[in-house]
Amino acid sequence: MFRPGFLWPKGRKTSEEAGFEMVTIQVLKTDTPQPGERANEADNPTSQVMRFGPDQPLRLDCGVDLAPFQIAYQAYGTLNADKSNAILICHALTGDQHAFNDHPVTGKKGWWLTLIGPGKPIDTDRYYVICANVIGGCMGSTGPASTNPATGKIWGLDFPIVTIPDMVRAQAMLIDRLGIDTLFAVVGGSMGGMQVLQWTVAYPQRVFSALAIACAPKHSAQNIAFHELGRQAVMADPDWRGGRYYEDGAHPHRGLGVARMAAHITYLSDAALHRKFGRRMQDRELPTFSFDADFQVESYLRYQGSSFVERFDANSYLYLTRAMDYFDIAADHNGVLAEAFRDIKTRFCVVSFTSDWLFPTSESRAIVHALNASSARVSFAEIETDRGHDAFLLDVPEFIDIARGFMTSANIARGLAGTSLAGPR
């Protein structure tokens, strides 16, 4: 039986979504999803699925032809007659296809409600919005948590290594199957932003506009180091069992929880942590002189670790972090980023946040400079906020306004009907 590795006592206060305001949350429910339930989502997801047979392999960068395979996705809105209003949303490392609907495992609201929905910048009354779980993920697209059809067992570490370009090639196959030639926009932040950039390089004629948020053209040494820390935490858990924990009904929830805790720190900023928690004690006035969670920030991180393992597969975490580590757009262009964007016609908007030290503004500027060198149409915004890397997921009015303005401009340039995006209705 699965049991969370961290206990979250009653009365804790936390909020990622509420702009770091302190709000009361409830204790984790006793009906926490079991490993078998998560595995069921891996093969039979609560979303739409596109299946590709043995005669339609996905050629991976590692040299393997993956077949058969499937892509789980959600779609919101209506595709217009000429199929010109499709937007692809690319999710981040720990995201999935459930951007605008309730999550089938946790029951939580969609992860990008600030940007997607009626009257929002990505207006589901106007656009056909697609969000697909990436290859290597654990929510229905083929990955290490899926069943290997050749053996009837879970893939585990027998699954081939995947890259960001592999993810994008799989998405392109999905878009082909949907009969869509050109995407009106590709939008994503963090690892999703990497996918956005890869789309514009790999399929420049198929992307009319691109909104790349809080991302980089390659993963830095520091970020690779943080990912290695997380991977080692997972692999050091005795329940990881060489990646074959599925066979024994185990789950390395302690290691994965620690990996999530470490990663979550990088998504925030020192100023945000100070404002949100400071050195305040958790439900006590004096220290316990023990290793209990005396400080609010400790309890918050333990909750983040505990809640994460409800919905995510440990091996998928290894695979997706490795995919980010390998990402380097310029590598295939003699190390010259501008060459990757040569003669590109896509309209770009690149956004960064002042307090994001995971993907700092310097990375976004490098993208913008390369696009300028390629004479591409690009706008750039550095948004002042202390909310760190996760700002792109939060209610940051300036970011939402910029996204709305970019979508409005692209809408007009594309000549789509109903170009007004004046604000929420």
Q: Among all residues, which ones are annotated catalytic?
A: 190, 356, 389
**Which residue in 59, 110, 154, 96 sits closest to 312, CA to CA?**
96
What's the distance, CA 50 to chain centroid?
Answer: 20
Distance, in Å, from the CA atom of 201 to the CA atom of 295, rounded to the nearest integer, reads 46
